[in-house]
Amino acid sequence: MDGTANIDHLLRDVLWPKLRVLRLRGVNCRAPELTRFLVAHPRIEELSLAQMMPGHAWTRLELPRDALPNLRHLECSSAQAAALLRNAAASGRPLETLLGIEVHDTVIDSKYFSWDDEWEDEDHDDADEEQPSPWKALLLQGLQAQSSITRLGISSIGTPEEMETLAAVSPQVKDLSIHIDRDSKIPVSVIFS
């Protein structure tokens, strides 16, 4: 995550009127630039965002309800998904696939984000300490509201309760992929029992 390229200037200054697929890796940006770009490209059907887009400013990633009306496939972090699904029910987006999320109760901030000029200017001695997930509740609300999601990809799982929570808010899922963390404390057999 350190040393990612900032693409704010590209997001501000370009327009591809027919853009349908956008996959970004190894880059970062600020929330206003990403929001402007996504609003200006309503034909996007498939969107894959790098984890550092927009970093700690994920809470400021607010799309209008009519943005991304054709989005069917979204691959991003849980923080980004929480922000992008915020208006999911009212938007009418036909989102079918959501990949890259997790629903951990607690997170260690430095494992998710490291680059963010505004955030780095503040004192964050607790960045390496476990704390309650700031996006879990919002993500679960968005998942529950977006009943069109039938394919779900979990980037990491820590407890069987996380799977139970996901099953409760997204019972319509037909295709599920799960990545088990190497340092997970639960055997795979427990997750599916």
**CATH code of 80's domain:** 3.80.10
Take residue 172 and report the two structure tokens written for it. Answer: 């319509």
Take residue 26 and report the two structure tokens written for it. Answer: 């190894």
Instruction: Count the domains in the chain.
Output: 1
Q: Are 126 and 68 in contact (CB under 8 A)?
A: no
**pLDDT over 60 (residue 118):** no
By DSSP bridging, strand 21-23 and strand 130-132 are unpaired
Which amino acid appears at position 101 of this protein?
A: I
Mean pLDDT, range 16-43, rounded to an integer: 94
Distance CA 35, CA 188 (A): 38
Q: Which range of residues forms the domain containing residue 61?
A: 5-191
1: pLDDT confidence band, cut at 50, 70 and 90? very low
pLDDT score, position 193: 47
Q: Specify the 3-state DSSP secondary structure of 6.
A: strand
